[in-house]
Chains A and B, each alone.
Chain A
Amino acid sequence: MRKYSLISLSSILVVLAAWSLVTYTGWIDPLFLPTPTDTIKALLEEIEEGIFFADVAASFYRILMGFLISTIFAIPIGLKMATSRVWLAVWEPFVGFIRYMPAVAFIPLSILWFGTSDLQKFFILFLGVFFQEVIMIADNCKTVNKSLIEVGYTLGFSKSQVNRSIVFRAALPDIVDTLRTTWGWAWTYLVVAELVAASSGLGFRIMQAQRYLATDRIVLGILVIGFLGLLTDLIFSWLYRRLFPWKLMEKAKE
Chain B
Amino acid sequence: MASTGELMLQADDVTKTFVSNKKEITALDNVSLFIRREEFVSLLGPSGCGKSTFLRLVAGLDMKSGGSLRLNGAEIAGAGRDRGVVFQQYSLLPWLHAWENVAFALKKTPGLSAAEKKELSFHFLELVGLKGFEYHYPVQMSGGMQQRVAIARALVYKPKLLLMDEPFGALDAQTRREMQDLLMRVWTEEQCSVLFVTHDVDEAIYLSDRVYVMSAHPGRIAKEIVIDLNRPRDFSDLYTEQFLRYKREIEEELMRQKMLQKEAQKDAARR
User: Which A residues fall within an 8 A CB radius of B?
Assistant: 145, 147-148, 150-151, 153-157, 161, 165-166, 169-170, 172, 244-247, 249-250, 253
Contact = CB atoms under 8 A, between A and B. Distances in A.
B61 A246 contact: no
Nearest to B108: A156
B233 interface: no
Q: Which 8 A-B pairs have the closest CB atoms?
A: A156-B81, A153-B79, A154-B85, A246-B137, A147-B91, A249-B139, A250-B139, A151-B91
A145 B94 CA distance: 11
A165 B107 contact: yes
A148 B139 contact: no
B154 to A, nearest CB: 8
Contact of A153 (B61, B89, B94, B157): B61
A154 B107 contact: no
Contacts of A165: 104, 107
B108 A155 contact: yes
B91 A246 contact: no
Contacts of B94: 170, 246-247, 250
A154 B137 contact: no
Interface of B: 59-61, 78-81, 83-85, 87, 89, 91, 93-95, 104-105, 107-108, 137-140, 157
Contacts, number: 62
A155 B81 CA distance: 5
A151 B79 CA distance: 10
Contacts of B139: 246, 249-250, 253
Contacts of A253: 139
A246 B84 contact: no
B105 A155 contact: yes
B93 A148 contact: yes
Contacts of A250: 94, 139
Nearest to A151: B91
B91 A245 contact: no
A48 B182 CA distance: 74
Contacts of B108: 155-157
A169 B79 contact: no
Contacts of B59: 154
A151 B149 CA distance: 13
Nearest to A158: B108
Contacts of A169: 93, 95
A156 B89 contact: no
Nearest to B91: A147
Given A150-B85, A153-B60, A247-B94, 20 more contacts: A147-B89, A147-B91, A148-B93, A150-B79, A151-B87, A153-B61, A153-B79, A154-B60, A154-B83, A154-B84, A156-B81, A156-B108, A157-B107, A165-B104, A170-B93, A170-B94, A170-B95, A246-B95, A249-B137, A250-B94
